[in-house]
């Protein structure tokens, strides 16, 4: 299967597969990025309650990161990863904490779901198994960000928190910022109960075509929500150009043979990763 489309390129290097955004490849002299493919890789570096994984699982994650990083010619030691707890907290990364290994499971990044930097050779990493991952790049100020926006993060508008912080901390012009939306669960499979539907209706009541964003599934009284479209619309409202919001168009559930999906795998689900680095 090849997931390439007008916005993303499906790359295979030996046994390693990943997606790259065609728009970001225009800047490959100053930027490296990738979204992992293949359920043979698993990027889980901690448990949900911040406890260490069994040694074998942690080694699997390290090996997965090494394989992917080697495939795009970057040094896995430069990795910095959020702890991802469905918050709207975004932090600036100025340098590494560990000098000889990746920054995984660092207290500095507890309760954090987005990272921003203007420093070279820092690989910002997020992981998902249906949640939205957003890669941001300002080619003028040379600033990058990597943000995890699950449905809770979307409700908290963490995408907006990210671009506002890029503007406040680094002087980014919102019209220069590119946002790339990685593979995630799509409206076709994001089915929710009334309680969650009500939260989205309340938070995004100002959006046009809300009836298309949130659609009832008759007759079972559940609703499908288009969180991708929500993020696109709120970023446009904030000032990003429509043409600079690039969607991979890939559903993690529909393509669960290549992409880890919580809704498909359930307990023991694996994780994909999105990486971005300034050279």
- Look over the chain and give the mean of its residue pLDDT values, rounded to a whole number: 96
Candidate CATH numbers 2.40.128.90, 3.60.140.10, 3.20.20.210, 3.30.390.10; the one for domain 8-186+244-278: 3.60.140.10
* Per-residue CA distances from 31 to 83, 103, 186, 206 (Å): 24, 20, 28, 36
Residues 251-256, mean pLDDT to the nearest whole number: 98
**pLDDT on residue 49:** 66
Q: What is the mean pLDDT of residues 47-59?
A: 81
Q: Does position 48 have pLDDT exceeding 70, yes or no?
A: no
**What are the tens digits of pLDDT across the range 143-164?**
999 999 999 999 999 999 999 9
pLDDT category at 178 given cuts 50, 70, 90 is very high
Q: What is the pLDDT of residue 201?
A: 96
Q: What residues are paired with 212 via a beta bridge? A: none
Q: d(Cα 93, Cα 98) in Å, to the nearest integer?
A: 13
pLDDT at position 262 is 97
User: Which residue in this structure is represented by tokens 């690989």?
Assistant: 123
Residue indicated by tokens 């009284």 = 221
Domain regions of the chain by residue span: 8-186+244-278
Q: In the structure encoding, which two tokens stand for residue 83, read together?
A: 């702890």
Token pair of 72 as six digits: 């795009």
Neighbour-count burial of 56, counting CB atoms closer than 10 A to its CB (0-12 exposed, 13-18 middle, 19+ buried): exposed
Specify the pLDDT at position 125.
Answer: 98
Residue 50 pLDDT > 90, yes or no? no
Q: Is the pLDDT of residue 194 over 70?
A: yes
Residue pair 124/276 in contact (Cβ under 8 Å)? The answer is yes
Separate counts of helices (H) and strands (E) for the chain? 8, 15
**In contact, 204 and 270? CB cutoff 8 Å:** no
How confident is the model at residue 154, as a pLDDT? 98
Residue 52 clears pLDDT 90, i.e. is over it = no
Q: Round to whole Å and give the CA distance between 168 and 161.
A: 10
């Amino acid at each position: 299967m090849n997931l390439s489309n007008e916005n993303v390129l499906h790359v295979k290097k030996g046994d390693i597969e990943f997606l790259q955004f065609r728009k970001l490849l225009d800047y490959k002299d100053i930027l490296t990025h990738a979204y992992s493919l293949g359920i043979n890789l698993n990027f889980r570096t901690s448990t949900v309650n911040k406890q260490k994984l069994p040694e074998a699982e942690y080694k699997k994650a390290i090996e997965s990161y090494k394989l992917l990083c080697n495939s795009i010619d970057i040094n896995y030691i430069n990795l910095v990863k959020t702890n991802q707890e469905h918050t709207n907290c975004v932090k600036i990364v100025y340098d590494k904490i560990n000098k000889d290994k990746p920054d995984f499971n660092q207290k500095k990044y507890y309760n954090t779901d987005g990272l921003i930097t203007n420093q070279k050779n820092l690989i910002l990493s997020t992981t998902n198994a249906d949640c939205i991952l957003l890669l941001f790049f300002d080619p003028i100020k040379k600033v990058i960000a990597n943000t995890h926006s699950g449905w809770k993060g979307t409700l908290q508008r963490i995408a907006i928190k990210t671009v506002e912080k890029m503007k406040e901390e680094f002087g980014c012009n919102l019209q220069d910022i590119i946002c790339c939306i990685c593979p995630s669960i799509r409206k076709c499979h994001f089915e929710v109960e009334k309680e969650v539907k009500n939260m989205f209706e309340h938070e995004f009541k100002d959006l046009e075509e809300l009836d298309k964003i949130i659609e009832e599934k008759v007759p079972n009284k559940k609703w499908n929500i288009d969180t991708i479209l929500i993020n696109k619309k709120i970023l446009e409202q904030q000032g990003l150009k429509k043409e600079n919001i690039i969607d991979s168009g890939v559903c993690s559930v529909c393509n669960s043979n290549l992409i880890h999906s919580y809704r498909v795998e359930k307990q023991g689900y694996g994780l994909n990763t999105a990486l971005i680095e300034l050279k």
